[in-house]
């Protein structure tokens, strides 16, 4: 259907629109007109994604001179594919009405693991191994050696992509990850590097949060995006956690042992270069005198994760003199690793701020704040000079330098926490040193400053006035919409007593009482005997959940702390519900409020929420 919202003709690919979708589009348009940021909450199952895509693409079509670009951020690859499928449907509808005037380029961007089509590389077990396998075939020095020695393996897809040069482009259309892989196979071009090149020219880019919020990734991928872009964070109820995780680093004993092995390997490589190509090390030294920014543009196959925090003005400064020489820098990292090993030898939980921690490093091993700041980029420069392609083997030393740069840059909003063991297994020593970020606004601040409109939306953003305080921004629009329902399909209840009139409570000192346990057990038994479909049961702790046995009426699936096991359990829970028997899914109470908000996934659903606690 076609309809007007003020001066914009909206193309909507379905015959009917919910009232809340129309109201959502009106508020979204207000934010775009004001060139400001907005917070929009609308329940799941009400068609948020298609409402967003329809309004923003129609807005761009109605104002061709404004060059509006949409950067749509999702949490998972599955959500990315669903968004692109909706966009395909919408694009087909717009082409039907507008013909070539509606031509657009939209694509998804993901990691090499999801886009690579080279069988020798993509078969690796994890993302880091795929990245390293790709670099072994595409690094500039590997390709230069392959010109002289044809026996050195390279990637034919990358070589053909490079040969095509400016002809390597995607024709207009909407490309899912599967479409990109198919196009790459057809042309013989690498889909990953093609997609990375084309994001600069695309009208719509769909990718994960990290491409904008994690400064290490955003520094490579999103640096060139124009200010007129509209950024959408979909399912953004946990966006503050994503921001905090992007700037938090954990260091364990295994990390430090791996870093020591990395430094030993680098020392051997430096010695080898001194014997065979000393001029290369001298050239790097001279470059560092001019500042890290003078490296110029690296070939796309050599680009590495960007610095976690450093602004451009610091990159223009000369690197501190005592870390310009490769051996001096490796020696400094050894001292830092040794210091961190000493800090992990503790029997008590310790907490201190970055200023005190940096002061302690300076006093004990003589590394000042400015030097720490440069560690990450100095490591990058050294790894390029030493022509290291096994980046997956060097993750440990990268983590240490990431930690050093962050702790040397920020004086507020962070804590260093040292824990000698895991609380769940206090008898097993497993020390961890965490640089913990407390301020979610630090990671998202550059996004708010760079782009004219940022849309934060989800099915549950309550309380909606909390997010501007957490993320430190002023939305021009902040609205919460309710679902319009034609029947009673939601039944929330609060249960404070069991059938024997004894109070039930999840308080720590009461929940192990036999009467309370009996009432919770009886409630579950009564529910599974009458509820036709699935039941999700949230427990206050894993230990409390372990004491439950119930299999007479339903299949039982239990969440564990292993992500893969939990995903499998969820898949089988869905199958049990689909086949008519239903199931019980036990999980630990972490995000219970958000999950309760997702009981209704569409207007055809029904659900009962019982809060059993006095």
CA distance 67 to 452: 12
- Specify whether 496 is located in the same domain as 476: no
Range of the domain at 526: 490-612
Q: What is the rounded CA–CA span in Å between residue 494 and residue 536?
A: 16
Tokens at residue 117, please? Answer: 């089509």
Asked whether residue 547 falls in the same domain as residue 463, the answer is: no
DSSP code, position 2: E
CATH number at residue 589: 3.40.50.300
List Cβ neighbours of 158 (8 Å cut-off, separation of 6 or more). Answer: 137, 138, 190, 193, 301
Q: Establish if 243 belongs to a structural domain.
A: no
Phi, psi (5° rounding) for residue 477? -135, 135
Residues 6+ apart with CB under 8 A from 364: 339
The answer to whether 75 and 235 are in contact (CB under 8 A) is yes
Same domain, 360 and 499: no
261 plus 385 within the same structural domain:
yes
433 and 458 co-located in one domain = no
- The answer to the question of residue 240 being in a domain is no
Shared-domain flag, residues 369 and 432: yes
Are both 299 and 275 inside the same structural domain? yes
Rounded to an integer, what distance in angstroms lies between the CA atom of residue 123 and that of residue 116? 10
Residue 170 lies in a domain: no
Those residues of the chain that have pLDDT short of 70 are 290-318, 423-426, 486, 508-511, 540-555, 558, 560-564, 580-594, 597-598, 601, 603
Query: What 8-state DSSP symbol labels residue 75?
Result: S
pLDDT at residue 548 in the model: 59
Quote the DSSP letter at residue 613.
-
d(CA 202, CA 104): 8
SS3 348: coil
The Cα–Cα gap between 607 and 498 comes to 21
Together in a domain, 217 and 103: yes
In whole angstroms, what is the distance from residue 293 CA to residue 315 CA?
5
Tokens coding 211: 């491409």
- pLDDT for res 315: 54
Number of domains, the chain: 3
- 3-state secondary structure string across 353-414: CHHHHHHHHHHHHCCCHHHHHHHHHHHHHHHHHCCCCCHHHHHHHHHHHHHHHHHHHCCCCE
Looking at the domain assignment, is residue 188 inside a domain? no
pLDDT value for 294: 46
pLDDT score of 444: 92
Looking at the structure, tell me whether residues 278 and 370 fall in a common domain. Answer: yes
Structure tokens, 22: 């129309």
Structural tokens at position 147: 């010109």
**Structural domain includes residue 162:** no
> CA-CA distance, 227 to 237, in Å (whole number)?
25
CA distance 15 to 442: 43
User: Are 211 and 282 in a shared domain?
Assistant: no
CB 400 within 8 A of CB 252: no
In eight-state DSSP terms, residue 97 is: H
Predicted pLDDT of residue 341: 93
Does residue 46 lie in a domain region?
Answer: yes
Alpha helices in 434-562 (DSSP H): 441-450, 466-471, 514-530, 542-546
Residues 396, 408: Cα–Cα separation, whole Å: 18
Q: Quick one: 95 and 21 in the same domain?
A: yes
For residues 507 and 487, the answer to whether their CB atoms sit within 8 Å is: no
Please count the other Cβ atoms lying within 10 Å of the Cβ belonging to residue 439: 18
- The C-alpha R_g of the chain, in whole angstroms, comes to 27
Angle at the Cα of 586 from the Cα atoms of 583 and 591, rounded to 5 degrees = 125
* Same-domain pairing of 428 and 524: no
Domain contains 142: no
Q: How many residues does the chain have?
A: 614
Q: Are the C-beta atoms of 401 and 249 separated by less than 8 Å? A: no
Domain membership flag for residue 169: no
DSSP label of 563: H
Between CA 168 and CA 162 the distance in angstroms is 8
Strand 477-480 relative to strand 453-458, pairing: unpaired
């Amino acid at each position: 259907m076609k309809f007007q919202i003020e001066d914009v003709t909206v193309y909507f690919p379905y015959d009917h629109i919910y009232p809340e979708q129309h109201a959502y589009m009106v508020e979204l348009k207000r934010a775009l007109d004001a060139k400001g940021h907005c917070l929009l909450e609308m329940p799941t199952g009400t068609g948020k994604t298609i409402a967003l895509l329809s309004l923003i693409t129609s807005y761009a079509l109605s104002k061709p001179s404004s060059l509006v670009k949409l950067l749509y951020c999702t949490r998972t690859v599955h959500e990315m594919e669903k968004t692109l499928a909706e966009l395909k449907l919408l694009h087909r509808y717009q082409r039907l009405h507008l013909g070539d005037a509606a031509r657009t380029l939209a694509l998804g961007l993901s990691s090499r693991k999801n886009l690579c089509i080279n069988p020798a590389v993509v078969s690796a077990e994890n993302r880091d191994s795929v990245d390293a396998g790709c670099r072994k075939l595409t690094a500039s020095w590997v390709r230069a050696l392959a010109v002289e020695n044809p026996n050195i393996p390279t990637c034919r897809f990358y070589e053909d992509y490079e040969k095509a040069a400016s002809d390597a482009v995607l024709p207009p259309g909407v490309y899912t990850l599967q479409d990109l892989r198919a196009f790459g196979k057809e042309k013989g071009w690498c889909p990953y590097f093609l997609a990375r090149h084309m994001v600069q020219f695309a009208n719509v880019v769909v990718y994960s949060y990290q491409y904008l919020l994690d400064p290490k990734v955003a520094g490579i991928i999103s640096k060139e995006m124009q200010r007129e872009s509209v950024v959408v964070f979909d399912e953004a109820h946990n966006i503050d956690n994503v921001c905090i995780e992007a700037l938090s680093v954990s260091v364990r004993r295994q990390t430090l042992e791996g870093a020591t092995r990395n430094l030993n390997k680098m020392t051997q490589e430096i010695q080898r270069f001194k014997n065979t190509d000393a001029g290369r090390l001298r050239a790097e030294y001279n470059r560092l005198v001019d500042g890290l920014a003078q490296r110029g543009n690296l070939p796309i196959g050599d680009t590495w994760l960007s610095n976690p925090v450093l602004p451009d003005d610091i990159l223009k400064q000369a690197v501190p003199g005592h870390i310009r020489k490769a051996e001096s820098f490796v020696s400094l990292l050894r001292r830092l690793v040794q210091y961190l090993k000493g800090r992990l030898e503790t029997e008590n939980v310790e907490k201190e701020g970055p200023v005190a921690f940096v002061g302690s490093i300076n006093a004990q091993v003589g590394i000042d704040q400015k030097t720490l700041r440069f560690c990450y980029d100095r490591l990058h420069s050294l790894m390029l000079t030493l022509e290291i392609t096994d980046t997956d083997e060097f993750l440990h030393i990268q983590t240490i330098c990431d930690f050093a740069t962050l702790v040397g840059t920020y004086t507020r909003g962070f804590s260093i926490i040292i824990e000698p063991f895991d609380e769940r297994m206090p008898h097993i020593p497993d020390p961890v040193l965490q640089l913990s970020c407390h301020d979610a606004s630090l990671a998202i601040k550059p996004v708010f400053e760079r782009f004219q409109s940022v849309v934060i939306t989800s099915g549950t953003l309550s309380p909606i006035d909390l997010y501007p305080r957490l993320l430190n921004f002023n939305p021009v629009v902040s609205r919460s919409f309710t679902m319009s329902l034609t029947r009673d399909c939601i039944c929330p209840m609060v249960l404070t007593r069991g059938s024997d009139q004894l109070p039930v409570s999840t308080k720590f000192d009461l929940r192990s009482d036999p009467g309370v346990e009996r009432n919770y057990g009886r409630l579950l038994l009564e529910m599974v005997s009458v509820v036709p479909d699935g039941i999700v049961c949230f427990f206050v702790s894993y230990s409390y959940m372990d004491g439950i046995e119930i299999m007479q009426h339903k299949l039982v699936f239990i969440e564990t702390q292993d992500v893969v096991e939990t995903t499998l359990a969820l898949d089988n829970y869905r199958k049990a519900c689909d086949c008519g028997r239903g199931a019980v899914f036990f999980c630990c109470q972490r995000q219970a409020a958000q999950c309760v908000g997702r009981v209704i996934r569409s207007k055809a659903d029904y659900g009962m929420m019982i809060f059993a606690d006095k």
